Structure 1
Amino acid sequence: MHADPGTDSPRPLDADALRRALVEGPDAPYTSLEIVEEIGSTNAESIRRAALGATDRSVLLAEYQASGRGRLGRTWTAPPRTQVVVTVLLRPGAVSPTLFGWLPLVTGLAIRDGLVAAGGVDATLKWPNDVLVDGRKIAGILSEMTTVPGDGDFELRLPALVVGVGINVSLTQEQLPIPHATSLALAGGTTDRDAVALAVLEALARRHAQWRRCERGSGSSVSDELMTEYSEACSTLGAEVRVELPGGIVRTGRADHVDREGRLVVVTPDGELSVAAGDVTHVRPAGGRWGG
């Protein structure tokens, strides 16, 4: 077990207040919300719970996550009660798998929305879903998919998606997990974790609902509205970038746009390159915006 955080640590999240705002009531966006003191991984636990029948739009928060993981297998951890660590379980139902590739981007947009609304900082996105403040990473996001047994007597398995987020709130410079990270405290924002958790979960609910509506409104394709709103928040677009592709291949060029599959389209000396997976570094910012 992790050492007791002691009396000088930040106060715990207010589970009752968050449930009242997010779970209780006829129009509540979530079906359940639980906060645990310590866990290995909120994503791993949510995947386990999905197999046991956990409901769509159930929320799991942790005061301390011992084995947090980020994109590309990177670790993402911090001292107890210095982050907002949360995973949302989604059972997408009729949503076409062609839209699944946009879920990480939509989630990044939601975290950006929540931090702008309640965090007191000007957050931007680096493709696909790194949330940045002053060019430094303030949040990590990991979306994962599994399959779970469907209802009824048939041996049908249905997709379940877990969206995990870790937001640095009160970390000091010495506590940051990576050198080019930051926290709300270091960026001059709020350190009220309840306010951050509430705003982020409300934003996630709005953006995930918008993502689900694409199935009905855009014929299994991301909507123009969602593409536009993501593009406006993404500091990668227009920047000169260096892309490290799987297999050690490196390409450089100008990030032009994000396509309907959520891929980053980069204009290189050899033509357009559509990047579905890779590590993108901003070499030169777009229009004075720096994205890290």
Structure 2
Amino acid sequence: MDDAYAHGSPLNRTPLNRGALADQDFLSAAGISRLEVVDTTGSTNADLLRNVSVEPALWPDLSVLTAEYQTAARGRLDRRWESPPLSSLSVSVVLRPANAEGRPLPTQTYSWLSLLAALALRETLLETAGIPAELKWPNDVLVRGRKIAGILAQLGPMSDGSVPPVILGTGLNVSLSSNELPVPTATSVTLEQPRTADRTLLLKSYLARFAGLYRSFCNADGDPAAGLAGGASLHKRVESAMVTIGKQVRAQLPGDHEIIGRASRLDDYGSLLVVDRDAREHVVTAGDVVHLRPWTPPGQAPPQGSEGGYA
């Protein structure tokens, strides 16, 4: 066992309950095909990207890898994601999106998968941990304006002309104290007076919710406007939970380009539509945006608490 894992965590941080995660009733009900827990690794996303290249048959749809400690975790745009051992949930899932008949989803629907994961995590925080949560476009979950989790989707390799898999990684701050947070605008489950901060319960809840939403999305052929899991569509659920919508924002793009305006809605591909002061509508995609920040017109005071919302 790695020394950092063995000696770097407070006594009140307990390992995941591997027996509970291996329970066949849970795995079958959730539709999880494989679930592996490792003590330490560089990155669960990187591991799965390698695994689906070398042994694709061993990592089918809804295979899960989670680590107690990651030494080289990365977020969107290769940003570092750090946390002490046993303090977070670091989990990645292999997705091979296809409908009930086995027909692969169009790859243009893949842009919704990270939003679907964020929605599942938001529901977990609300209903299992009992803390309020909102979504920040394109891939963050916030609690009271502070970042508690991030989502990273990466496209896997194509083999024999088949549709490439998606590796979907999620990092959730669970027991980090205020002085352990990576940035001042972050938070953790423990800091928000939760109903529970049990990482095993949170992980099981997240995986079950994600798998249910994902399977419903696949069976609708990736249509974000279709009813999802017996309720509203993915498009409506995400927009209603997204703090970004309706706000004045500054979208920083590659090459020092920027768009300033009101975030009005999401389009059919999960991209953010921003209306500038000349009433022109701009499409901002998750793959292009470098930063999305709140913006306040000169001479106006920023809304209270806005600094933490788009970190």
- Shared fold (TM-score greater than 0.5)? yes
- How do 1:159-238 residues align onto structure 2 when only pairs under 5 Å count? 159-189=164-194, 190-215=196-221, 221-224=223-226, 225-238=233-246
Query: Is residue 282 of structure 1 aligned with residue 300 of structure 2?
Result: no
Any runs of at least 4 consecutive aligned residues in structure 1 with deviations exceeding 6 A, and if so which? Answer: none
The 3 A distance-change label for structure 1 pair 57 and 99 is same
Give the percent of matched residue pairs that are identical in Structure 1 and Structure 2: 36
- How do 1:48-59 residues align onto structure 2 when only pairs under 5 Å count? 48-51=50-53, 52-53=55-56, 54-59=59-64
Corresponding residue to 1:78 among 60, 69, 83: 83
Q: Distance in 1 between matches of 2:105 and 2:143?
A: 32
Contact 1:147 1:157 in 2 (8 A): no
Corresponding residue to 1:240 among 237, 248, 257: 248
Contact 1:50 1:148 in 2 (8 A): no
Q: Distance in 2 between matches of 1:96 and 1:22?
A: 32
TM-score normalized by structure 2? 0.84
SS at match of 1:33: strand
Query: Is residue 256 of structure 1 aligned with residue 268 of structure 2?
Result: no
TM-score normalized by structure 1? 0.90
Contact 1:98 1:221 in 2 (8 A): no
Q: Distance in 2 between matches of 1:34 and 1:188?
A: 30
Matched with 2:229 is none
The 3 A distance-change label for structure 1 pair 188 and 97 is same
Per mean C-alpha deviation after superposition, the further-off stretch among 257-266 and 200-209 is 200-209
Q: Which runs of 5+ in 2 are unaligned?
A: 99-103, 227-232
Contact 2:249 2:260 in 1 (8 A): yes
Q: Distance in 1 between matches of 2:250 and 2:25?
A: 40
Q: Which runs of 5+ in 1 are unaligned?
A: 150-154
SS at match of 1:67: coil
Quote the offset at 1:195 in angstroms.
Answer: 1.3
Aligned pairs, number: 282
Q: CA RMSD in A?
A: 2.2
Contact 1:9 1:81 in 2 (8 A): no
Quote the offset at 1:246 in angstroms.
Answer: 1.7
SS at match of 2:190: coil
The 3 A distance-change label for structure 1 pair 10 and 130 is same
Query: Is residue 61 of structure 1 aligned with residue 66 of structure 2?
Result: yes
Quote the offset at 1:105 in angstroms.
Answer: 1.3
SS at match of 2:236: helix
